[in-house]
């Protein structure tokens, strides 16, 4: 059962009190917003915080009953994600389920994310993510349909960027429908998603040879397509201004 919003709000407030931080932004992420969650999927809440003390926790993680997981980073790390045009921050900002927000902070951070947006950086990040998830520890230990979707989503995001389609959507279905031309592969993906949603995530945990071949071919092709020039470091002036406004001022 999906935890009520009141439980999420209560835990965010408890984190603030226990950790001495202020939550500036909190949103849902993961399979529930990508569109392939099963009834047993975790509900992932990602949040950004500033601290009221000199010693700032680098990260805050909590796991609650009901498969409710909280994972937070401080403002400095969020600004680094913005500067690097990282997919996780861009996806948090687009989440349809926002649970806590400081409006001025979210607006400014969104503007910075747009200012520093780089399709090349984002492509490189998604490709590394797909490769890492596919080559991770033995499939038998972490396999299942969820593993395939965790590989396919960043891989299809690379194809979306490669095709110059603009901002990468959260919807896995839109990514698949738009970027996968092979009818047989579209059927394979549809079956995986349907079984995952039906809570057959780990049934058999076996490999699907046709999907493996497609993934390996795409990883090789996209790696060759990756012709990244030297990426200049963006001007940090606006990042430092946001840090001063929403973090250092709170600690004063």
Q: Percentage of the chain surpassing pLDDT 90?
A: 56
Q: How far is Cα 59 from Cα 49, in angstroms, rounded to an integer?
A: 9
217 and 141 in one domain? yes
106 and 17 in one domain? yes
Query: What is the number of helices (H) and of strands (E) in the chain?
Result: 13, 5
64 and 43 in one domain? yes
* pLDDT value, residue 43: 92
What is the CB-side half-sphere exposure of residue 104 using CA atoms within 13 A? 6
Summarised one tens digit per residue, pLDDT across range 176-203 is 999 999 999 999 999 999 988 887 555 5
126 and 212 in one domain? yes
Window from 33-42, 80-89, 240-249 with minimum mean pLDDT: 240-249
Which tokens in the block code for residue 2? Answer: 């999906």
137 and 160 in one domain? yes
Mean pLDDT, rounded, of the chain: 85
Residue 252 banded pLDDT, cuts 50, 70, 90: very low
166 and 71 in one domain? no
Q: How far is CA 207 from CA 133, 145, 180, in A?
A: 14, 9, 20
Residue 141 pLDDT more than 90?
no
Q: Domain holding 12: CATH number?
A: 3.30.460.10
> Model pTM?
0.86
* pLDDT value, residue 17: 93
109 and 31 in one domain? yes
Residue 139 pLDDT more than 80?
no
Segment 20-44 mean pLDDT: 91
Contact, 131 vs 151, CB < 8 A? no
Q: Which domain holds residue 62?
A: 5-117+232-251
72 and 22 in one domain? yes
56 and 25 in one domain? yes
More confident residue, 137 or 8: 8
208 and 127 in one domain? yes
Segment 104-122 mean pLDDT: 89
* pLDDT value, residue 57: 80
243 and 148 in one domain? no
State the sign of the Cα–Cα–Cα–Cα dihedral 46, 96, 81, 26: negative
Residue 1 banded pLDDT, cuts 50, 70, 90: very low
* pLDDT value, residue 169: 96
Segment 77-97 mean pLDDT: 92
More confident residue, 228 or 88: 88
149 and 54 in one domain? no
Burial 215-246 (b: 16+ CB within 10 A, else e): beebbeebeeeeeeeeeeebeeebbeebbeeb
Segment 242-249 mean pLDDT: 60
Summarised one tens digit per residue, pLDDT across range 159-173 is 999 999 999 999 999
Number of separate domains in the chain? 2
More confident residue, 243 or 121: 121
Map tokens 């805050």 to a residue.
60
Residue 229 pLDDT more than 50?
no
* pLDDT value, residue 243: 64
When mean pLDDT is compared over 62-71, 87-96, 219-228, 239-248, the highest value belongs to 87-96
- Cα 20 to its chain centre, rounded Å, is 26
């Amino acid at each position: 059962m999906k935890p009520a919003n009141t439980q999420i709000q209560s835990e965010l407030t408890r984190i603030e009190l226990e950790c001495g931080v202020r939550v500036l932004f909190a949103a849902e992420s993961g399979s529930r917003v990508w569109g392939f969650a099963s009834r047993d999927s975790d509900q992932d809440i990602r949040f950004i915080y500033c601290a009221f003390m000199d010693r700032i926790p680098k990260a805050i993680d909590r796991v609650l009953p009901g498969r409710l997981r909280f994972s937070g980073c401080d403002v400095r790390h969020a600004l680094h994600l913005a500067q690097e045009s990282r997919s996780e921050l861009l996806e948090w900002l687009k989440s349809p389920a926002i649970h806590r927000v400081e409006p001025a902070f979210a607006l400014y951070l969104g503007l910075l994310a747009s200012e520093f947006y780089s399709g090349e950086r984002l492509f490189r990040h998604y490709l590394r993510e797909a490769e890492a998830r596919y080559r991770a520890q033995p499939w038998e230990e972490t396999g299942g349909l969820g593993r395939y979707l965790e590989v396919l989503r960043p891989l299809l995001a690379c194809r979306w960027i490669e095709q110059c389609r603009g901002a990468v959507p959260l919807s896995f279905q839109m990514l698949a429908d738009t970027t996968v031309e092979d009818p047989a592969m579209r059927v394979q993906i549809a079956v995986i998603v349907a079984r995952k949603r039906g809570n057959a995530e780990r049934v058999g945990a076996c490999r699907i040879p046709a999907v493996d071949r497609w993934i390996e071919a795409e990883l090789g092709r996209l790696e060759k397509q990756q012709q990244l020039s030297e990426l200049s470091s963006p001007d940090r002036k606006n990042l430092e201004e946001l840090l001063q406004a929403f973090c250092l001022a709170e600690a004063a």
